[in-house]
Structure 1
Amino acid sequence: MTKFLGMHEALEVHELLTFKTLCLTKAATMSGLAQDPELKAILAGDVTAGTEHIQQLQHFLTNREDVQ
């Protein structure tokens, strides 16, 4: 990859970041409402994965000089 994202690439990453943030918020909220232990475990795993994905997307937007 290049050091800098094109404008359209930055916008697409921002859209993905917005979508993943919404998914994370929904999963975290629903895990508090869920009563089934298996469903809670699935939602907890989704929260963990979503957090990691958000951090990766934020890295693309903020630390562009580190991208290779």
Structure 2
Amino acid sequence: METKYMGLHETHEIHELLMFKNLCLTKATAMGALVQDQELGNILNADVTATKQQVQRLQEFITNRGVQ
């Protein structure tokens, strides 16, 4: 069965996740510029990369509205 549209509550949940991930991305980016420990910097950089991918995927869900 193919889902053509997400429900309003599903769209709202994805929007909340998107806002949270954007906040995480902003914080990790800002902290990455301030950190002095190389290992911590590497962890933050990896988190920034992963979070950018997650934000992009969430944006696709909202843009496509669940069209398969």
Both structures adopt the same fold (TM-score exceeding 0.5) = yes
* Aligned length in residues: 67
Per-residue CA deviation, residues 10-66 of structure 1 (Å, 9 max, x unaligned), is 00000000000000000000000000000000000000000000000000000236x
After TM superposition, the score normalised by the length of structure 1 is 0.92
Distance in 2 (alpha carbons) for counterparts of 1:3 and 1:38: 44
Query: 1:22 matched to which residue of 2?
Result: 23
Structure 1's unaligned 5+ residue stretches are none
Amino acid at match of 1:31: G
Query: 1:54 matched to which residue of 2?
Result: 55
5 Å-filtered alignment, 1:1-68, equals 2-64=3-65, 67-68=67-68
Structure 2's unaligned 5+ residue stretches are none
Identity %: 58
Amino acid at match of 1:4: Y
